[in-house]
Structures are given as C-alpha cells and as structure tokens.
Structure 1
Amino acid sequence: MTRPVVQGSIRRRLLVLLLCASAVLAVLVYFLVQSVARQVAQQSQDNILTASALSVIDSARIVDGSVMVDLPYAALSMLDSITDERVFYAVRLGDELLTGYAELPRPPRVGARGTAQLSAEFLGEAVRIAAVTRPFATDLGRNVLEVSVAQTLSGQRQTLAWTSRLSLAVGAGFFALTVVLALLIARATIQPLDRLTASVSRRGPTDLRPVNAPVPQEMARLVTSLNGFMARLEASLNRSEDFIAEAAHRVRTPLAVVRTKAEIIQRQIHKPENRKAMAEMIEAIDESSRTAGQLLDHAMVSFRLDSLPRDRVDLRALMRDAVERIRPVAEIADIGLDIPHADPATISGDAILLQSAVRNLLDNAVKYSPADTRIEISLRRDARAVRLEVRDEGPGFPPGTSAALTERFARGSNAKGVIGSGLGLTIVQDVVTAHGGRLHLDNQHGGGACASLLFPLP
C-alpha cells in the first residue's frame, strides 16, 4: 500500500502557533508589569518628595526682615526611615542659597508657582529631585522661593528588582497556563478530524457507505469529496466484478464449443498429416482455454483478496469436493486419487478462494503425473495448524526453483509439452498468504512432488 506524502502535522502546527502567540503575550505581560511598576514607584516617590518640599516651603516666613525657614525634620526623617535612603535638600530665594546643599541640581522651573521633578547624579549616587516654587514678598520686593528635596534611588531599584522577579514569575506562570490551554485547544480543534479518521479506518474493505457523521463546516467539502470518491469506487468495483464473471463465461464457452467441433472434424479426417494438424489445433485451443481461465481466476482471486470475508470453512468437505470435481479428468489420464487421511478441520476465510487454491494444486498434480500412478491428498490437524498435502509420482520440482515457481507466469524446466500458464502456484500462494498461512513445495525421497498448504487454527 502506497503511503501518503506527509508534510508536517496540523496539530503540531496549531500548537506551535498558539505557543508562539503565548510566548509573545508573556513577554508583553512581563514588560507591561515592569513599566507599570516603574511608573508607580516613581510617581509615589515624586509625590512624597513634593509633599516634603511643600511642607518646607509652607514653613517659610519673614522675621525681622529676614527669611526664616523651619525644616520639618519629621517629614525628611520619614523619607529616610521608610525607604532607608539618603535625603538632600536646598532652599533658594531666587538664585541665593538660604540653606541646604548648594550643588544639588535644580529642576527646570515651571512658572512662579509649580512643581518639577528631575533625575540626576549627586555625590556619586543617582537621586530623584522634586522642586516647589512659590512667589515670596520680602523687604526688597517680590521674589521666588524654591525648595528642592532629593532622595537616592537604591531602595527604589531594589523594589524594582523584586518587581522584575515577580513579573517574570507572572509571565512564566501565564506562559505555562497558556501551554496547557494551547494543548487543550489543539486537541479539541483536531478531534473532529481524528473522529473522521477513526470512523473511516474502522470500516472493512467492502464498506463503502457514505460518511454521515456530523463534521465542522471546514471539513464538509472534504467529506463530500470522500463520499463521492467512495461512490465512484463502489461502482468501479461492481463493474469489475461483473466484467470478470461475464468474461469467464464468454471466453470459456466459445473455446469449449470450438474444441468440440474440432474433435468431431478430427474423427472425420483420414489423412495423417491433416489429423496431426487438427490435433495441434486442439492442443492450442486447450492451452488458450486454460490460460484464459487461469487469467480470469487470478483476476477473481486478486479482486476478492481486497475484500476477504472471514467465514467458517469446513476444509475437509472442501477438499473432498475438489477431489470429486477433478476425478473425471484424472480417470481419463489413468491417474488414481486417494484420500488416506482426512482430519476434521475448520478455518476462517473465503471458501471460493480456498477452493480455487486446492483445485489448482490438484490440477498441477494431475498434469505432471504419468499414467498408471496415484495422487494422495491428506488433511492433518495438530494443536497449532492444519496441513493439506498433495503428493504425486511425477517428475517433481526442478532443484532450487521452489520460490521462483510462485511468481507470475513462471514455469519449471520440466514443463515442456505440458499445457499451462504459470499462474496456478501464483494463485495458491496469494490465497494461502491472505489466510495467514504458507505454501511449501518439496520433492519426495522416492520421487514425485509434495505441495503443502499450512493454515493457522482460528
């Protein structure tokens, strides 16, 4: 049986696509969580720094013509204690530093009243700075009071690292969950195709009924094409069977009529040369009839092997029937047929094919046996197998040709002058193999051939 060209797997392709999409989503989830965590952490820090700067600027006042600022150390120490960070500040009136770190970077101002944030390097560390500006009136006129509060970012980075690990775990968990879901989705998607495959593969060779099982819309055209193919195949098989039966009748009957008329004419001919020519014509008719018959038998065997039934066959009754059918031919050739041993045996198979195999064995034995000899047909059964043997007293099989004789149209070197087509043992071999048995060809020690059919017991 020719195997189809396999190009990948739909289930695997679907699974790979789903997993790729899941991996992309997991990566997006990871970066999304990272981005949100970074924004939330920075916004929280900016709010705290801005609140601290506002508390400082709200404490500013004029005392004896000087600007006095009370630093709310509680707020600054809260920044330090909660996050374990270093805190810096700077208070400026215009461009004049009132208190704090003069080198602390100044964020760009946002008008005379507003807030601004800046990330920068200060004293070798990364800091986040929040600045608050507010108009302030002094004895010298109006000016702008600016308060900047800065905090290092090591604690924030630790928090972001922890968040990164958490988001990585979330992404991995999401991917693992999507893998399971992808497997379930792929299985559920391919399940209708698996059901259709199982439904068709469970059918016997002769079951060509259309597929009526419900299928998804995407498979409707496939099932319609499959049903159409099976309908055409059934019609073709029926035509082939009818052709074989009709050909067997139309070929054999005219040849039999021609042979009969040739024999009648031969009896009326008196010249030796004409009688010899007529005898050669009769021999050619016999050979043509036999060849055509065996070709049709071989076609019938090949056809039935594709849909081999498994009926209970009484092999002993079948053997005796075949012997009785060929007995008239054997008696004309002065050959005796004996059944010295016949055990009761029943096997599972096709009675028509088994009858054809036994008939071909007996026919070969009669053809190659000389006159005044006997053919023994026996049937023996043991615990494991049934053995049907046909022994004759003919020339036997040529040495080393047993395997070759089962090939189509193969004949032995001792077949010269014997009418035959070379298909008899081919038919026997095909039938025995289809029934799980084997054909064994050998020569007897005292002369003659022995052909054995071995069938396993059901």
Structure 2
Amino acid sequence: MRTRLIIVFLVPMTVILLALGGAYALSVARSIQQEVSNQQLADLGYFLTGARQSLRAANPAVVEGELERYSELYGTRVAVFDRSGMLWAAGGMRPESVNEEMTTRIGLALSGRRSDPSLAVLPWSLGETVMVEPVFDDGNVIGAVMIAESSDAPRGEILAHWALLVAVCAVVIGLLVFAVFRLARWVLQPMMRVDHAMAAIEHGEMDARIADDTGPPEMRRMIRLFNQMAEEIERVVSRQREFAMNASHELRNPLGALLMRVEYLATGLDERWETDVEKTREEGRRMSRILDTLLNMARAGQQDSSFAVVDLVELVRGRVAAWREVAAERGLSLVVDAPAPVMSVTDRTSVESALDAVIDNALKFAPTGSRVDVAVGSDAERSTISVRDRGPGLEPEELEMVTSRFWRSARDQNVPGSGLGLAIATDLLSGLRGSVEVSVPEGGGLCVALRLPAGEL
C-alpha cells in the first residue's frame, strides 16, 4: 500500500518536473547559441565597411591590421575573401585552414546570399561556429567576410546552466520524496494502527483501541467505527465468558446435590437397581466433567497471554511427571523423547494447558499396558510437541472433525470425556499463532502434534 501510494504521487510529479526541466534546458541552449550568433553578426557588420574599403583600394593592409588585433583579442579567426574566393586579408587564419564547409559558405556569400550560422541544440554536438557575409559595392558583390569561432565558450556556459538545473531538479525531487513519504505516513499510519489493533484483538487483547485524533477525516471516521465494533465484540465475548463461568458455577451445586440424592436413594434400593444407579452416577460424573471443562475454557479465554522464552523440553518433562501417577493407575507408561533443549517464545501457561488436554486424551484411549510417547523437536520455523498413543486411532475421514467441540467417534461413546480436549488445545494454540495437527502413525494409534513458532512472535 505504501509503495503504491508513493508511486501514484511521486512518479507523475517527477515526470512533469523532468519534462519541464528538459524544455528549459533546450531553451537555455538555444538562447545562448542565439546570443553568440547575434554577436558574430554584429562583428561581421563592423568589418564589412573596412573590407569594402580594402577591396575597393586593392590594398589588404587597410583592414588586415584590424583583423589581426581582433583575432588576438578574442581568439577568433576572421578573414576577407575577394571576388574570386581567394583569401584577401586574415586575422588568425591561413589559406590551408579553409575547409570544405567554409568554401561552400564563401561561395554562397559571393553569390549574394547570406549564410546561416551552423547552430546545434546540444552542446556536445557543437563544432566551430562559422558565419559569412557578402561585401556589396553599388549593389555588386566584391568579396566576403568570414568569422570562425570555437564553441568552447558557449558549450561551457550551456553545461554550467544545465548543471545548475540538474542540482535544482535533484533538490526538488528530494523535497518531493520527503513530502510524499510524510504524506504516505500521515495517510497510512492510522491504517497501520487499525491493523495492529485487529491483530491484538485476534490474539485475545479485547481492550485494544485506536486513538482517533490523527489521519485524514475519512480514516478518523473508520477508526471510530472500528473502536465501536471492538467495544461491542469485547462486550459480547465478555458476556459469553461470564455466562459460561456463571452457568458452570451455578450448575455445580444442584448437580452435587443431585448426586448426593442419588447416593441416598441408592441405600434404600435392592441389588436389582444397582446397574441403573451406577449408570446414573456415571452420567452425573460425566456432567461434572463437562462443567469443569466449560469452566476451564472460559478461564483460558479470559487470561492474558504472557510471552517469554520457554524451554519446551523442561515444560514437557514437568507435565509428564504430573501425569505419571494417573498413567500408572491405568496401567500405562509415559515416555519422554527430548534429547536437547528446545526454546520458543510463547505463553507457558497456554502451552501447559494444551499439553494437559492432549495427554489426558491419549491416556483415555490408550489400551492398558501400552506406552504413550511424548516427543519434542524443532526446525527452522516450528517447534513441535507430539503425543502418540497406541489406541484404536481414527478413520481418515474423522481426522478433520477430531478438533471440533463435543465431537466423539461413534465407537468411543462409552469412553469417559466431553469431547472438548483437542478443541481446547486447538483454541489455545491458535492464540499463540500455533496449530494442532492430528495424524494416524504407522502401527496404529493417534499422534497429536502441538506446533509453535520457533522464533519471536
């Protein structure tokens, strides 16, 4: 966006400036060359009288001394030619220095025509400037006067003007670049703040807002609307979390009372009702687990992530140690495969909560006497914590649904749980710019990988 805005403003202005500068440069070159041509014409007019007198008197000495003084003073070659085109008198010019172009111009002058100056527009294409005027006597051409002057002086003057013009254009373009960058920053800075605020809200910072006192009026209006939208989202999310927490708290007491009443009633029933009572107890315990999970989800969504450098190997070893007793009660073994420290800039609490949910899920489905492997690895972009069990696994078409909330495989309906474990892990990892990947490894079971950014977020 910044690049496009700079191009839209800067390129047209630069093109216009270069076009005007080029036109001005050509105009300066023509003006200087015209000034030189006018000066030569004036000098030729001065020498015409002396040349006429010299030719009429048949005495070159009448004008030759004046031609030599002029040539020495200005470094210009001046010559008078007679009616036959032969050199009559000269200042700084020899007969052998008369080239073909000069001969052509002299012939035109002796025929009564004035020759035009050999002017060029570009200074590096300028050669020697030659002008020839016929000498008339009573309407008859009796000779010609020629001035040949080097172009070094006008060329240097033109190049000096052009250098000054280039310097001015460079300064103007620099000012334009500075102005366009400031304008782009003034226009885009509010948009960048909107982008940062949206990213903050995406990561759970619901209180992110934008100051609406800078930028163009249109952006200020958009920022005000964004702040209003953010406030509404924060209010809705807050009410959802409060509802989940309040519902979980409020339902725990009547559920506890209901389970106690079931136990009380069970004491008055004979053995025929034992199966039904046990099913009622299990449903009550399942409802209690669902309420605990909902409460944990509400709390996890409410907490602010605190990012810091975390050794994932140390984190995994700590959580596995906490779950080993549960695994032992179920006849399972937890094995950690993490040979070297793996560092990541992340939120420790969120990663621990997600790992707990995945380990809990693995212990539920792993058959007694099997092993659950927890491995830690990393590459240039990602750090990975993988938990692999050797349970029944899932069908390929079920892998996409396993992280959905309350989803349970049809063959696992009798396994205790709420179907929220992997959904909680997915929500927690998404807030850390990570992801949860579920796959079926060779040998059966299920492998759940928690992938986290390896560098700073």
Give the TM-score of the pair, scaled to structure 1: 0.56
Instruction: Classify 1:389/1:383 alpha carbon distance in 2 versus 1 (closer, same or farther; 3 Å).
Output: closer
What is the deviation of 1:404?
A: 3.5
Instruction: Classify 1:193/1:240 alpha carbon distance in 2 versus 1 (closer, same or farther; 3 Å).
Output: farther
Match of 1:49 among 44, 47, 59: 44
Q: Name the structure 2 match of 1:353.
A: 350
What is the deviation of 1:104?
A: 5.4
Amino acid corresponding to residue 250 of structure 1 in structure 2:
N
Q: How does 1:393-412 map to 2 (within 5 A)?
A: 395-398=391-394, 404=400, 407-409=403-405, 411-412=408-409
**Contact 1:308–1:350 (8 Å) recurs in 2:** yes
**Contact 1:435–1:455 (8 Å) recurs in 2:** yes
Amino acid corresponding to residue 63 of structure 2 in structure 1:
Y
Q: Name the structure 1 match of 2:319.
A: 319
Instruction: Classify 1:27/1:407 alpha carbon distance in 2 versus 1 (closer, same or farther; 3 Å).
Output: same
What is the deviation of 1:190?
A: 1.0
Partner Cα separation in structure 2 for residue 42 and residue 366 of structure 1: 102
Match of 2:28 among 30, 33, 53: 33
What is the deviation of 1:348?
A: 5.3
What is the deviation of 1:222?
A: 7.0
Instruction: Classify 1:42/1:353 alpha carbon distance in 2 versus 1 (closer, same or farther; 3 Å).
Output: same
Partner Cα separation in structure 2 for residue 26 and residue 387 of structure 1: 61
Amino acid corresponding to residue 73 of structure 1 in structure 2:
V
SS in 2 for 1:349: strand
Does the alignment pair 1:247 with 2:243?
A: yes
Match of 1:178 among 150, 166, 169: 169
Question: Would you tell me which structure has more helix in proportion to its own residues?
Answer: 2
What do the CA deviations read for 1:130-154 (whole angstroms, capped 9, x no partner)?
Answer: 8899xxxxxxxxxx9999985457x
Instruction: Classify 1:248/1:289 alpha carbon distance in 2 versus 1 (closer, same or farther; 3 Å).
Output: farther
Amino acid corresponding to residue 173 of structure 2 in structure 1:
A
Partner Cα separation in structure 1 for residue 53 and residue 17 of structure 2: 53
Instruction: Classify 1:401/1:293 alpha carbon distance in 2 versus 1 (closer, same or farther; 3 Å).
Output: farther
What is the deviation of 1:208?
A: 3.7
| Equivalent residue pairs, number | 393
Instruction: Classify 1:353/1:132 alpha carbon distance in 2 versus 1 (closer, same or farther; 3 Å).
Output: same
What is the deviation of 1:408?
A: 2.8
Q: Name the structure 2 match of 1:20.
A: 15
Amino acid corresponding to residue 14 of structure 2 in structure 1:
L
Q: Name the structure 1 match of 2:181.
A: 190
In percent, how many aligned pairs have the same letter? 17
Question: Would you tell me which structure has more strand in proportion to its own residues?
Answer: 1
**Contact 2:245–2:298 (8 Å) recurs in 1:** no
Q: Name the structure 2 match of 1:235.
A: 231
Q: Name the structure 2 match of 1:64.
A: none
Partner Cα separation in structure 2 for residue 151 and residue 358 of structure 1: 105
SS in 1 for 2:412: coil
Amino acid corresponding to residue 247 of structure 2 in structure 1:
V
Instruction: Classify 1:443/1:396 alpha carbon distance in 2 versus 1 (closer, same or farther; 3 Å).
Output: farther
SS in 2 for 1:398: coil
Instruction: Classify 1:12/1:437 alpha carbon distance in 2 versus 1 (closer, same or farther; 3 Å).
Output: same
Amino acid corresponding to residue 33 of structure 2 in structure 1:
R
Partner Cα separation in structure 2 for residue 106 and residue 278 of structure 1: 134
Does the alignment pair 1:74 with 2:64?
A: yes
Q: Name the structure 2 match of 1:95.
A: none
Partner Cα separation in structure 1 for residue 288 and residue 43 of structure 2: 112
Partner Cα separation in structure 2 for residue 348 and residue 80 of structure 1: 85
Partner Cα separation in structure 2 for residue 25 and residue 453 of structure 1: 63
What is the deviation of 1:44?
A: 0.9
Amino acid corresponding to residue 24 of structure 1 in structure 2:
A
Amino acid corresponding to residue 319 of structure 1 in structure 2:
R
**Contact 1:127–1:150 (8 Å) recurs in 2:** no
What is the deviation of 1:315?
A: 3.4
Q: Name the structure 2 match of 1:364.
A: 361
Partner Cα separation in structure 1 for residue 348 and residue 393 of structure 2: 28
Amino acid corresponding to residue 74 of structure 1 in structure 2:
E
**Contact 1:211–1:223 (8 Å) recurs in 2:** no
Instruction: Classify 1:120/1:430 alpha carbon distance in 2 versus 1 (closer, same or farther; 3 Å).
Output: closer
Match of 2:421 among 417, 421, 424: 424
Amino acid corresponding to residue 51 of structure 1 in structure 2:
Y
Instruction: Classify 1:457/1:29 alpha carbon distance in 2 versus 1 (closer, same or farther; 3 Å).
Output: closer
**Contact 1:80–1:87 (8 Å) recurs in 2:** no
SS in 2 for 1:34: helix
**Contact 2:109–2:144 (8 Å) recurs in 1:** no
What is the deviation of 1:192?
A: 7.1
Q: How does 1:137-286 map to 2 (within 5 A)?
A: 150-152=144-146, 155=148, 159=151, 163=154, 167=158, 171=162, 174-175=165-166, 178-179=169-170, 182-183=173-174, 185-187=176-178, 189-191=180-182, 193=184, 197=189, 200=193, 205=200, 206=205, 208=208, 210=210, 219=215, 221=217, 224=220, 228=224, 231-232=227-228, 235-236=231-232, 238-253=234-249, 255-256=251-252, 259=255, 264=261, 267=265, 283=283
What is the deviation of 1:229?
A: 5.8
Larger radius of gyration: 1
Instruction: Classify 1:354/1:77 alpha carbon distance in 2 versus 1 (closer, same or farther; 3 Å).
Output: closer
What is the deviation of 1:186?
A: 0.7
**Contact 1:132–1:146 (8 Å) recurs in 2:** yes
Amino acid corresponding to residue 354 of structure 2 in structure 1:
A
What is the deviation of 1:288?
A: 11
Partner Cα separation in structure 2 for residue 148 and residue 298 of structure 1: 115
**Contact 2:385–2:451 (8 Å) recurs in 1:** yes
Q: How does 1:66-145 map to 2 (within 5 A)?
A: 72-74=62-64, 77=67, 83-84=76-77, 87=80, 129=133
Partner Cα separation in structure 1 for residue 58 and residue 139 of structure 2: 11
Instruction: Classify 1:131/1:255 alpha carbon distance in 2 versus 1 (closer, same or farther; 3 Å).
Output: farther
Q: Name the structure 2 match of 1:97.
A: none
What do the CA deviations read for 1:150-197 (whole angstroms, capped 9, x no partner)?
Answer: 5457x46x739x846974785477447634752464146415755985
What is the deviation of 1:24?
A: 1.7
Unaligned runs of 5+ in 1: 1-5, 61-66, 91-100, 108-117, 134-143
Amino acid corresponding to residue 415 of structure 1 in structure 2:
D
Instruction: Classify 1:401/1:52 alpha carbon distance in 2 versus 1 (closer, same or farther; 3 Å).
Output: same
Instruction: Classify 1:352/1:192 alpha carbon distance in 2 versus 1 (closer, same or farther; 3 Å).
Output: farther
**Contact 2:307–2:348 (8 Å) recurs in 1:** no
Partner Cα separation in structure 2 for residue 303 and residue 349 of structure 1: 17
CA RMSD, Structure 1 to Structure 2 (Å): 6.4
